[in-house]
Chain A
Amino acid sequence: KAGVTQTPRYLIKTRGQQVTLSCSPISGHRSVSWYQQTPGQGLQFLFEYFSETQRNKGNFPGRFSGRQFSNSRSEMNVSTLELGDSALYLCASSLLGGLYEQYFGPGTRLTVT
């Protein structure tokens, strides 16, 4: 089976812009989660989607949003970018969510200038 794919792999944006990142989970997996990784805060949970519904949300401002499509593919959007949003954004795919292994994609490296 193909692994989790994320596009784009690298992105450079300017403060105030918005960005959309995409994630395609492993075939058959219905749960998609997003994480942000920064040197200062480490790996932090953003949100999780299952069957097109957000089931869980981390402690991030409303500028961070996401959605999931009927084929389980997911997108996350960050509006009004700030310098502090520069990070590696990782998507994780799981069969059903809780209690199952989470498999991560290669990530999208976002740089905000």
Chain B
Amino acid sequence: SQQGEEDPQALSIQEGENATMNCSYKTSINNLQWYRQNSGRGLVHLILIRSNEREKHSGRLRVTLDTSKKSSSLLITASRAADTASYFCATDATSAGTASKLTFGTGTRLQVTL
């Protein structure tokens, strides 16, 4: 079963605009990871944010985590056509050095047009 929902399900923007995707989850977590997937291909790891962190940056990506609201957001600034993909959040409730099990959201399909 899916841990959470992503919102919106689909997002269409123009190149240069910012894209914001939201992820909600149901249980307490240790970390949350964001992934990108181009059509039918493998998942590309974007960023990991731990439960004791509130914000993290990586290049044009900014991720926030609100554990009280059980939600996270991914902001892509100055989007490019190459950012067109599906984006997934995945939560991990397991402990350090123990079995890992990611529970994925439903994904947001981002379309960036020229």
Contact surface of A with B, Cβ cutoff 8 Å: 4, 6, 31, 33, 35, 42-45, 48, 50, 55-56, 58, 88, 90, 92, 94, 96-107, 109
Chain A residues positioned under 8 Å from B101 (CB to CB): 33, 45, 48, 56, 58
Is B103 in contact with A96, judged by CB distance below 8 angstroms?
no
- Interchain Cβ contacts within 8 Å, total number: 84
Whether B100 contacts A98 by the Cβ 8 Å rule is yes
Q: Are A90 and B42 in contact (CB under 8 A)?
A: yes
Interface string of B39-79 (1 = CB under 8 A from A): 01111110010100000000000000000000000000000
Chain B residues with CB under 8 Å of A101's CB are 33, 45, 48
Shortest CB-to-CB span from A80 to chain B, Å, is 24
- Provide the bound-state CA to CA distance between A50 and B100, in Å: 10
- Find out whether the CB atom of B31 lies under 8 angstroms from the CB atom of A99: yes
Chain B residues whose CB sits within 8 angstroms of the CB of A106 once the complex forms: 41-42
In the assembled complex, the Cα of A105 lies from the Cα of B44 at a distance in Å of 9
Q: Which B60-114 residues have a C-beta within 8 angstroms of A?
A: 88, 90, 92, 94-104, 106-107
Contact call B97/A97, Cβ cutoff below 8 A: yes
Q: How far apart are the CA atoms of A98 and B45 in the complex, in Å?
A: 15
Given contacts A55-B98, A106-B42, 20 further A-B contacts (CB under 8 A): A4-B42, A33-B102, A42-B107, A45-B101, A45-B102, A48-B101, A50-B99, A90-B42, A92-B43, A97-B97, A98-B92, A98-B96, A98-B98, A99-B31, A101-B45, A102-B90, A104-B42, A104-B45, A106-B41, A107-B41
Please state if B48 and A55 are interface contacts (CB–CB under 8 Å). no
